[in-house]
């Protein structure tokens, strides 16, 4: 059977499943739309949270970034995983006990201020729109390859599918759709990794295969990868190299961690369970489900990088690269998407792949005139992995469905967070309190539709790979929402003025820093200063600045608190009641 037909079967079947679930679980009330009527089983919610959490950045982009940078990009893995633990232990149970629908809802009520609610909504919108760009980027990459269309057409198809099940089902539909998507994505990610680990090391567990012996060479797998990379003029895989300094690495990891703990689309998942105790159980199950993918990702990255090199140099040395006319079918297919490209710079008909910035001595001796793999979008690596390893067609179709499931599940969660913030927090709770539940539900769906259109437009021109765009969103969440949530739970005296000033300072400083080095809404040529390490303040990357923004947020909030006095007594009593573990034993909360 033709591979295109196989892809259509797998992708089409998964989409039919998602849309069928959305119709079955159609939201009929605002409680259904925002929180699935708080009736979701903790295990189901854990799997849905994992799918919501493991976005296109995790499934499609993270292994690609690790593959092409190595140890330095393990910060993505450490920051995202550590941040989820932080969220599960410190925030989720308390927020569920407070009993609201959204993060701005919590901030507005805890800090007794419509202004605080509005600033929280603005922070949420800036962060969520940035984040959803990464998801649409990943979905566009997947669609463009497996449906053999251009990237823009892929984006439009992805937007149409998300619209069909997210706008219709709300949180209730999204929850059960994400359960199905988790099953699809974890199966799709793990099966190719098992096959490839067996091929390269003889070990069926990729987590162990990464540290096993490379069957063909007899060397440890990572030692073999280091060897071939150094021979081609690249840095070794297992070392830490510039510009990822230790200081910047720590800041970036911290930014991802606390940004994770401030993600509104993940936090609202904990509002869907019946009890506070169930929120804790959901968090534990989600961590187990997340670990099943995150412990495999480093192996996928390393093994795929080695497979790419041995595809171009099949004899295991740099003596004789393959000819362009004999390139594998997967290369030819990906070239049609524009995400992979070659240029025969010395007109010898062969594909030379090496680091032209630090070329090995043999490059000049053989008349090589530069790296001829001129384009390799890192986001394609996981999707191309089964083809690179020459796995069966059904595995390729499965990973197509998995990549799309990862992108669309998180996109749906983000779009729900955006629509809830607009319809519930801005309209119902702030500017139009008199609207009916039916009107609120209508406005939620309209705002979600507009958000999908905007995300599709921005996804067509992203500022980087999916994981890099997502990292910017985490920095925005780290600098704005995370400190406000932390102070709202753990500081009885923090007042509305402090929270408002803190969020404005944190978000404003981070947006300004990103604007300075990456441009306004990431439009090329609008950055004020070059995005290079020499130009960064103290060598801090725009991707790492969220941690600094969070510190500025906390500092501004506490300085304002000292100048304006503590929160009212009744608010302090409210905060105390949230922190006391009443209800953790099973009482249903408001």
What is each CA distance from 313 to 160, 214, 221, 362, in whole angstroms?
Answer: 41, 16, 17, 14
With bands split at pLDDT 50, 70 and 90, how would you rate the model's confidence at 284? confident
Q: Which two tokens stand for residue 387?
A: 């083809």
Would you state the pLDDT for residue 395?
85
Would you state the pLDDT for residue 468?
63
Would you state the pLDDT for residue 558?
97
Rounded-to-integer distance, Cα 451 and Cα 414, Å? 9
Contact 400, 165 (CB under 8 A): no
Would you state the pLDDT for residue 38?
61
Contact 402, 142 (CB under 8 A): no
Rounded-to-integer distance, Cα 203 and Cα 214, Å? 10
Whether residue 131 is predicted with pLDDT greater than 90 in this model: the reply is: no
pLDDT tens digit sequence for 439-452: 888 888 888 888 88
Whether residue 589 is predicted with pLDDT greater than 70 in this model: the reply is: no
DSSP 8-state class, residue 495? -
For the whole model, what pTM was predicted? 0.80
Would you state the pLDDT for residue 550?
97
Rounded-to-integer distance, Cα 2 and Cα 460, Å? 29
Would you state the pLDDT for residue 521?
54
Residue 16 burial by CB count (10 A; 0-12/13-18/19+): exposed, middle or buried? exposed
Determine the average pLDDT of the residues in 571-583: 77
Contact 135, 61 (CB under 8 A): no
Query: Omega of the bond prior to 421 within 30 degrees of 0, cis?
Result: no
Rounded-to-integer distance, Cα 486 and Cα 94, Å? 10
- Collapsed DSSP state (helix, strand, coil) of residue 377: coil
Contact 82, 70 (CB under 8 A): no
Would you state the pLDDT for residue 39?
65
With bands split at pLDDT 50, 70 and 90, how would you rate the model's confidence at 587? very low
Name the residue among 268, 255, 251 with its Cα closest to residue 480: 255
- Collapsed DSSP state (helix, strand, coil) of residue 368: coil
Name the residue among 36, 113, 44, 79 with its Cα closest to residue 482: 79
> Quick one: how far is CA 263 from the chain centroid?
11
pLDDT tens digit sequence for 451-506: 888 888 877 766 555 556 777 888 999 999 999 999 999 999 999 999 999 999 99
Name the residue among 456, 84, 82, 487 with its Cα closest to residue 269: 84
With bands split at pLDDT 50, 70 and 90, how would you rate the model's confidence at 414? confident
Whether residue 55 is predicted with pLDDT greater than 80 in this model: the reply is: no
pLDDT tens digit sequence for 253-270: 999 899 988 888 778 777
Comparing 503 with 74, which gets the higher pLDDT?
503
With bands split at pLDDT 50, 70 and 90, how would you rate the model's confidence at 207? very high
Whether residue 556 is predicted with pLDDT greater than 90 in this model: the reply is: yes
Q: C-alpha angle 82/474/559, rounded to 5°?
A: 95
Comparing 366 with 521, which gets the higher pLDDT?
366
Q: Which two tokens stand for residue 44?
A: 């189901």
Query: What CATH number does domain 3-304+388-579 carry, 1.20.1730.10, 3.30.1780.10, 3.40.50.720, 3.40.1280.10?
Result: 1.20.1730.10
Determine the average pLDDT of the residues in 564-587: 76
pLDDT tens digit sequence for 542-555: 889 999 999 999 99
Whether residue 337 is predicted with pLDDT greater than 80 in this model: the reply is: no
Would you state the pLDDT for residue 466?
53
Region of poorest pLDDT, from 26-30, 125-129, 300-304? 26-30
Comparing 373 with 52, which gets the higher pLDDT?
373
Would you state the pLDDT for residue 329?
86
Rounded-to-integer distance, Cα 554 and Cα 498, Å? 9
Determine the average pLDDT of the residues in 78-105: 80
With bands split at pLDDT 50, 70 and 90, how would you rate the model's confidence at 525? low
CA atoms within 13 A on the CB side of 526: 11
- In the 3-class helix/strand/coil scheme, how is 153-208 assigned residue by residue? HHHHHHHHHHHHHHHHHHHHHHHHHHHHHHHHHHHHHHHHHHHHHHHHHCCCCHHH
Comparing 54 with 481, which gets the higher pLDDT?
481
Determine the average pLDDT of the residues in 429-440: 86
Comparing 208 with 55, which gets the higher pLDDT?
208
Rounded-to-integer distance, Cα 117 and Cα 429, Å? 9
Rounded-to-integer distance, Cα 311 and Cα 304, Å? 10
Mean pLDDT value across the chain: 83
Strands 340-341 and 375-376: antiparallel
Name the residue among 243, 241, 198 with its Cα closest to residue 221: 198
Query: Which of the listed ranges 310-324, 333-347, 563-577 does the model predict with the highest average pLDDT?
Result: 563-577
Domain regions of the chain by residue span: 3-304+388-579, 305-376
Complete DSSP assignment for 400-442: HHHHHHHHHHHHHHHHHHHHHIIIIIIIIIII-TT--HHHHHH
Determine the average pLDDT of the residues in 21-50: 70
pLDDT tens digit sequence for 349-365: 999 999 988 888 888 88
Would you state the pLDDT for residue 171?
60
């Amino acid at each position: 059977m033709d591979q295109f037909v196989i892809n259509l079967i797998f992708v089409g079947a998964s989409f039919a499943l998602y849309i069928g679930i959305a119709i079955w679980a159609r939201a009929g009330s605002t409680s259904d739309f925002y929180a699935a009527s708080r009736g979701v089983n903790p295990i189901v919610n854990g799997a849905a949270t994992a799918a919501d959490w493991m976005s296109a950045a995790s499934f499609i982009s993270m292994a690609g970034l690790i593959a092409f940078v190595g140890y330095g990009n393990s910060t993505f893995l450490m920051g995202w995983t550590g941040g989820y633990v932080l969220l599960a232990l410190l925030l989720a149970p308390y927020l569920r006990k407070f009993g609201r629908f959204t993060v701005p809802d919590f901030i507005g009520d805890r800090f007794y201020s419509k202004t605080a609610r509005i600033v929280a909504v603005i922070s949420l919108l800036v962060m969520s729109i940035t984040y959803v760009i990464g998801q649409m980027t990943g979905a566009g990459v997947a669609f463009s390859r497996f449906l053999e269309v251009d990237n823009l057409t892929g984006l439009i198809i992805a937007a149409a599918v998300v619209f069909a099940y997210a706008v219709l089902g709300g949180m209730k539909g999204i929850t059960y759709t994400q359960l199905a998507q988790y099953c699809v994505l974890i199966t799709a990610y793990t099966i190719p990794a098992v096959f490839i680990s067996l091929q390269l090391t003889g070990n069926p567990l990729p987590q162990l295969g990464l540290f096993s012996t490379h069957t063909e060479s007899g060397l440890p797998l990572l030692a073999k990868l280091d060897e071939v990379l150094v021979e081609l003029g690249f840095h070794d895989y297992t070392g830490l190299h510039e510009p990822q300094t230790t200081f910047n690495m720590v800041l970036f990891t911290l930014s991802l961690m606390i940004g994770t703990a401030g993600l509104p689309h993940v936090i609202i998942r904990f509002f869907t369970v019946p009890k506070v105790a169930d929120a804790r159980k959901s968090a534990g199950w989600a961590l187990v489900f997340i670990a099943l993918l995150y412990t495999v990702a480093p192996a996928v990255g390393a093994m795929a990088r080695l497979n790419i090199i041995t595809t171009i140099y099949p004899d295991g040395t740099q003596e004789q690269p393959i000819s362009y006319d004999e390139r594998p079918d997967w290369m030819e297919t990906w070239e049609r998407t524009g995400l992979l490209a070659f240029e025969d710079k010395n007109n010898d008909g062969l594909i030379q792949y090496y680091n032209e910035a630090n070329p090995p001595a043999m490059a000049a001796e053989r008349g090589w005139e530069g790296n001829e793999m001129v384009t390799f979008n890192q986001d394609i690596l996981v999707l191309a992995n089964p083809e690179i390893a020459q796995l069966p067609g059904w595995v390729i179709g499965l990973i197509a469905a998995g990549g799309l499931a990862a992108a669309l599940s998180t996109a749906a969660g983000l779009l729900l967070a955006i629509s809830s913030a607009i319809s519930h927090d801005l309209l119902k709770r702030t500017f139009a309190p008199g609207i009916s539940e039916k009107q609120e539900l209508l406005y939620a769906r309209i705002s979600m539709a507009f958000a999908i259109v905007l995300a599709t437009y921005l996804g067509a021109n992203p500022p980087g790979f999916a994981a890099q765009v997502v990292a910017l969103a985490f920095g925005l969440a780290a600098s704005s929402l995370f400190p406000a949530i932390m102070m709202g739970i753990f500081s009885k005296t923090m007042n509305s003025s402090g929270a408002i000033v803190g969020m404005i300072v944190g978000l404003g400083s981070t947006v300004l820093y990103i604007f300075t080095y990456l441009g306004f809404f990431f439009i090329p040529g609008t950055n004020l200063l070059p995005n290079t390490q020499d130009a960064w303040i103290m060598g801090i990357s725009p991707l790492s600045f969220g941690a600094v923004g969070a510190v500025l947020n906390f500092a501004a909030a506490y300085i304002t608190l000292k100048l304006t006095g503590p929160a009212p007594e009744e608010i302090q009593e409210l905060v105390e009641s949230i922190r006391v573990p009443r209800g953790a034993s099973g009482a249903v909360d408001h």
